[in-house]
């Protein structure tokens, strides 16, 4: 059925969602920009380290006592900055997925952790926040299982971000997650250019990420996100479309378009809204006859 066609769809009907989903498309765009910028910085720092002079027209103060030390310190800063960007993008991806109906029980569990009942408090249960790493592992594990080593790799990425942003953070993998990486060390070495799991974990604890560490974790995370998305796209319910319209703050825009557009122009105007904000959701909006 084409977008905008006249067929019917019961409220509980499911249809395949376009792959990749809007959530994965947004994630990959953010990560792609971050990695490109990192690579550009690394290329530029090579020039700094190898003695290329500062251009005369560049009106900034810059006279490092040791160009090599300055270049390598800046490279570490750039790697950490990309680590933060990718971790945030992953958290946004998981936040979008968690709005879907198949994760209702997960959301209820997170709410119980953050808001224990009076009885639970009397039994010693303390209120606490559910971390982004916990939410990611919960969603990923529900979709593809707990024994996928890339889940641990992506969780490490999020924990590493926390250590970069919060110097006093003690964020760390659970023993079982650490063991999963170590158990798959041979596969990881083969797939990620001889990456050493022991060195990776050592660099994490010492808070000194290398370009290879973070590039490898990003590659793991992208592949993992694709696997997660393949599970999501297989079926999509009307309530999921509505949930994502709200999540991406499109519902209010559409209502405004409906109020301000001529009746014969409404559908065309709404399609333009989706093309700008969430093109992957456009067909589903019309497929489920949400135009109303």
Residue 4 predicted with pLDDT over 50: no
CB contact at 8 A, 268 and 262: no
Q: Residue 237, SS3?
A: strand
Selected residue with higher pLDDT from 41 and 17: 41
- The full length of the chain comes to 292
Cα separation values, 229 from 11, 190, 232, 243, Å: 23, 25, 5, 17
Compute φ and ψ for 214, nearest 5 degrees.
-70, -40
Give the separation between CA 283 and CA 4, rounded to whole angstroms.
8
pLDDT band at 2 (very low <50, low <70, confident <90, very high): very low
The model's pLDDT over 234-285, given as tens digits with 9 standing for 90+, comes to 777 889 989 999 999 999 999 999 899 988 898 899 999 999 999 988 888 8
Give the separation between CA 290 and CA 284, rounded to whole angstroms.
9
Give the separation between CA 284 and CA 236, rounded to whole angstroms.
9
Give the separation between CA 164 and CA 158, rounded to whole angstroms.
10
pLDDT at 246 (0 to 100): 93
DSSP code, position 124: T
The model's pLDDT over 172-225, given as tens digits with 9 standing for 90+, comes to 999 999 999 999 999 999 999 999 999 999 999 998 999 999 999 999 999 999
DSSP code, position 279: G
Residues whose CB falls within 8 Å of the CB of residue 274, separated by 6 or more in sequence, listed in order: 250, 281, 282, 285
CB contact at 8 A, 273 and 229: no
**Global pTM exceeds 0.75:** yes
Residues whose CB falls within 8 Å of the CB of residue 195, separated by 6 or more in sequence, listed in order: 188, 189, 212, 213, 216
Pick the closest to residue 2 from 226, 271, 262 (CA basis): 271
pLDDT band at 290 (very low <50, low <70, confident <90, very high): low
Give the separation between CA 235 and CA 231, rounded to whole angstroms.
8
């Amino acid at each position: 059925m084409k977008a905008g066609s006249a067929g019917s769809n019961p409220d509980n009907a499911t249809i395949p969602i376009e792959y990749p989903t809007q959530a994965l498309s947004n994630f990959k765009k953010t990560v792609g920009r971050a990695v490109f910028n990192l690579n550009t910085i690394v290329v530029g720092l090579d020039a700094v380290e190898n003695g290329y002079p500062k251009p005369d027209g560049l009106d900034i103060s810059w006279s490092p006592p040791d160009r090599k030390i300055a270049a390598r310190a800046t490279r570490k800063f750039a790697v950490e900055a990309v680590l933060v960007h990718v971790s945030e993008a992953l958290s946004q991806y998981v936040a979008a997925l968690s709005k879907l109906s198949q994760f209702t029980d997960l959301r209820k569990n997170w709410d119980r952790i953050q808001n224990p009942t009076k009885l639970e408090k009397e039994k010693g249960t303390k209120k606490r926040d559910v971390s982004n790493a916990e939410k990611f592992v919960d969603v990923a594990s529900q979709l593809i299982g707990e024994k996928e080593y890339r889940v641990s790799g992506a969780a490490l990425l999020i924990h590493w971000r926390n250590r970069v942003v919060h110097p006093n953070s003690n964020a760390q993998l659970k023993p079982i997650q650490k063991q999963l990486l170590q158990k798959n060390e041979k596969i990881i070495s083969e797939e990620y250019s001889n990456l050493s799991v022991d060195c990776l974990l050592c660099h994490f604890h010492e808070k000194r990420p290398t370009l290879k560490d973070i590039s490898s974790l990003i590659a793991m995370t992208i592949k993992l996100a694709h696997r997660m998305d393949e599970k999501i796209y297989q079926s999509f319910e009307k309530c999921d479309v509505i949930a994502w319209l709200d999540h991406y703050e499109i519902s209010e825009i559409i209502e405004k378009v409906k109020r301000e557009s001529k009746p014969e122009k409404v559908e065309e105007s709404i399609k333009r809204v989706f093309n700008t904000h969430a093109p992957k959701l456009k067909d589903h909006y019309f497929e489920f006859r949400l135009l109303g």
